Amino acid sequence: MVFSRVSMSPTVLRIRGYRFYFLSNEEDRMHVHIICGEGEAKFWVEPIVALATYHNLSAKKLSEIQRLVEEHKNEIIKKWKTYFGVS
């Protein structure tokens, strides 16, 4: 998948009503944002998957999202490197 740098928040994945995306003008540490109807979260991807911040999500939703990030970690890392031009 090729990303356009024109997009400020490209969608990485859509799973079970969650949209996983990157923000272009943010910090260098690898992370992914996730949004759904109930709220949003940000997870660090490396060195380990960890919750960075969230808004209006239950512990159950956060656990589900973390599990999805862990399951798709390699795909997220690959897309991060492609989008941000990291080797």
User: Closest by alpha carbon to 45, among 35, 54, 33?
Assistant: 33
Q: With pLDDT > 90 as the criterion, what percentage of the chain qualifies?
A: 79
- E-state strands within the chain: 11-15, 18-21, 31-35, 40-44, 50-55
59-78 pLDDT, tens digit each: 999 999 999 999 999 999 99
Does 2 have pLDDT greater than 60? no
Of 6 and 19, the one with more pLDDT: 19
pLDDT digit string, tens, across residues 30-60 = 999 999 999 999 999 999 999 999 999 999 9
